[in-house]
Structure 1
């Protein structure tokens, strides 16, 4: 109905414009001069007028663009708005990343314990507890036996390497809550490696393997922090830390397969599994709700899943001592 009215109106506009271009005179004179040069010129000038007016009027009356590119832009914009609306229905604003960035309780996750301008929050304190665990279990046993036995060096070299990567990452963020516990992890990892090498007869193999890789990772972290642009350094360090974490997930996955195959939990440590689960939950909460940092919360989200599976195995098969 609107299009019919618009067409009739445009036709009238065309006729009126033609009449405005004709020479003034009686109506009979206009009718009798169909071949009049002024009339032919007016008709040629107004032949495209309705089309131009339609292109100008239709977007105003219907709120859309009639060109092909305009239609694609409108469709794309509509799909984007629909997706955002659907995401808003699925994910409440209170559960969105960074929704607690201005929370009054943020100090619990950043400055629970502070010395000057350097603070450590609850996630960092739990991480420090995990990093200090070998100091009271594995290291005294190695010194007492005089050799490392069948203990692997990978946990300590991985601690030193990943600690150096996340220390540089936290320094780029200017966030002591991130770099302080990871700096401690890097230093403790180096110390554990030193004790391990002193009590290991196959020292040459370790130097070509773990030690050189740790040194290379530390040099890479220092170079990224000191020489790369800020955003590029953050991306490279964040991706490197996540790749290393994925490789480290091989240990828990192997332990899960062993438990399922043997149908007992001798390959797992209940206390350590609970501590790792708590650590991942705290870091995920802090990085997701307060920092909105996917480089941190993605890896801890995967860690939560693996630790929860291990706790489920304890519930299924019980707790067996080593």
Structure 2
């Protein structure tokens, strides 16, 4: 019979794979941003929250804070590096100086906070158990922020009845990631610091998938109707009939 420890390790490895896919899932969005040269209405909050979350879980996975959390350390180290790259691209293609300053200031604040917490807990707290409690508690807050960050995007989806700015892969793998790590927290060695935020993430991930299913058709309808509306507008501006075959394509 397979022991709970082995099952937990297997679930943790699967969690690492799913988390890596989750961290990489916005790559398509950033390819679009780079091609268009603009972040459009995409929000930086999910990436800022994820970077902070990964930074705190890196601390949690270090042997001096939690000696049995190597799987947590490896995936969050990878996730942290990925989010930094995404945020640098966001800064490069931001549409305004104010936007760059805001995102840059939040990034600097998050990095400074993670470093300060690690330094203070590592030097002032003497026992590993208390260190785990303190870091784990802050990690829960970071994880809550990561899963709650898409709430602003969900509100935009409801208001516009369009899922254009809520990437499906990000929503799907947020759900799968929360499901996997909530299971990991329940198997063998119970971990409340992993269970609480990932339980919430499971609920929010489910809500995002429901929204996507609800507004996907209306999003497609909006994209289909857009060229028609543009053509009507162009006809209204032109006082004479123009042969569509001979007319040059409008510059965008």
Q: Same fold (TM over 0.5)?
A: yes
Displacement of 1:224: 4.7
2:178 to 267, 280, 285: 280
**What secondary structure sits across from 1:130 in the alignment?**
helix
Once the two structures are superposed, what CA deviation does each residue of 1:269-315 show, in whole Å capped at 9, x if it has no partner?
43332221111111000111233000101111111112223333445
Deviation track 1:211-248 (CA, whole Å, cap 9, x = no partner) reads: 22122233134315632332232222222122233334
Q: Which has the larger radius of gyration?
A: 1
- Confirm whether residue 193 of structure 1 aligns to residue 87 of structure 2: yes
In structure 2, which of residues 101, 112, 119 is the aligned counterpart of residue 223 of structure 1? 119
| CA distances 1:133-187 after superposition (whole Å, capped 9, x unpaired) | 23x3133233323343333322222222111100110112232111111011111
Pairwise CA distance, 1:249? 4.3
* Equivalent position of 1:242 in the other structure: 140
Q: Distance between the aligned counterparts of 1:210 and 1:143, measured in 2?
A: 22
- Kept in 1, the 8 Å contact 2:47–2:86? The answer is yes
> Per the alignment, do residues 184 and 276 of structure 1 end up closer, same or farther by CA in structure 2, a change over 3 Å counting?
same
Contact 2:45/2:149, CA 8 A, preserved across alignment? no
Which among 46, 52, 55 is matched to residue 164 of structure 1?
A: 55
Residues 219-228 or 300-309, more deviating? 219-228
Gaps of 5+ in 1: 1-99, 111-120
Deviation per residue, 1:102-153 (Å, 9 max, x gap):
354333124xxxxxxxxxx00011001111123x313323332334333332
- TM-score, structure 1 as length reference: 0.57
Task: State how far apart, in whole Å, the 2-side matches of 1:198 and 1:252 are.
Answer: 22
Output the CA distance in 2 between the equivalents of 1:152 and 1:313.
18
Aligned to 1:303: 201
Matched-pair contact (CA < 8 Å) for 1:288–1:297 = yes
Name the SS for the 2:42 alignment partner. Answer: coil
TM-score (norm: length of structure 2) = 0.71
The CA RMSD over aligned residues, in Å, is: 2.8
Residue-pair matches, total: 211
- Distance, in Å, in 2 between the alignment partners of 1:150 and 1:256 is 13
Q: Secondary structure at the match of 2:25?
A: helix
Instruction: State the distance in 1 between where 2:25 and 2:212 align.
Output: 21
